[in-house]
Amino acid sequence: MMAMDWSSLALMAVGLAAAGFLSGFLAGLLGVGGGAVVVITLYEAFRWMGVDEAVRMHLATGTSLAIIAPTTLRSFAAHRARGIADLAFVKRMAIPVIAGVVLGALVARSSGGDVLKWVWVIMGSFLALRMFLGRDDWRLGPDIPKSRAVEAYGVGIGIISTLMSIGGGAYVVILMTLYGRTLHQAVATSSGFGPLIAIPGLVGFMWAGWGTTGVPPGTIGYVSLLGAALAIPTGLIAAPLGAKLSHGLSKRGLELAFGTFMTFVVVRFLASLLL
């Protein structure tokens, strides 16, 4: 554990609460699950608090999973209640996705922070490009095939989403819309993947970082429980504020805003890798 006096602990509390507020506001504004913004804000908060670079990225990723876990459960419950989500597809993909989460935790345990940053740079660039293009009319077929390649894609979703600490919704939406599902149903169904990734991913990062030194107080493995406890309430407060502001933006405007934000994150992590 990091040695911290009371003044440092107070600064840590303020920093994490502020990170939660900013993450919640941006998540509400951009219409994303939060992981994409929680990771970068936590990374900067932990940098500000002096957390060792060797564990900072892992700690930001693991703590982000703890923060998004309750929100993904809440989101899925809401969509399920409305009867829009394709629950059969969620059940089909559950085992492959969880298997991918386990593999992602193994990669995190055996890799340095640079690996997680490169995952963000590569996959974040892909998501940013997808948002900038803004095409919803591309099709690969009339419906999702029965091929095992779909399950393999689910394993990939689990791995990448765990290493990025995101709910995987963007990748599910891409798959479903490419096979003729409506955007509305795709978004609702993708909410079911969040708990499949966040909950086992949270446990996986606790295990992956077990016994790690140089982390703040209140941390288990690579998960700062204190950070999550401070960030979740402020994030819940700020999310409706961002959502309210987003109503004044068009769908295309939100896509461009999210693409721009993802580009910022990619550039930030790329700079830390190369400079």
Domain span at 159 = 6-274
Question: How many Å apart are CA 70 and CA 80, to the nearest integer?
Answer: 15
What pTM was computed for the model? 0.84
Residue 220 clears pLDDT 90, i.e. is over it: yes
Let me know if residue 1 belongs to a domain. no
Give the type of residue at 126. F
The structural domain count of the chain equals: 1
CB under 8 Å to 107, separation ≥6 — which residues? 115, 159, 163
Tokens encoding 203: 């446990």
Let me know if residue 245 belongs to a domain. yes
> How would residue 209 be classed by pLDDT, with cut points 50, 70 and 90?
very high
Write down the pLDDT at residue 262: 85
Let me know if residue 235 belongs to a domain. yes
Residue 93 clears pLDDT 90, i.e. is over it: yes
Question: How many Å apart are CA 176 and CA 163, to the nearest integer?
Answer: 22
Residue 156 clears pLDDT 70, i.e. is over it: yes
Pick 92 or 218 by higher pLDDT. 92
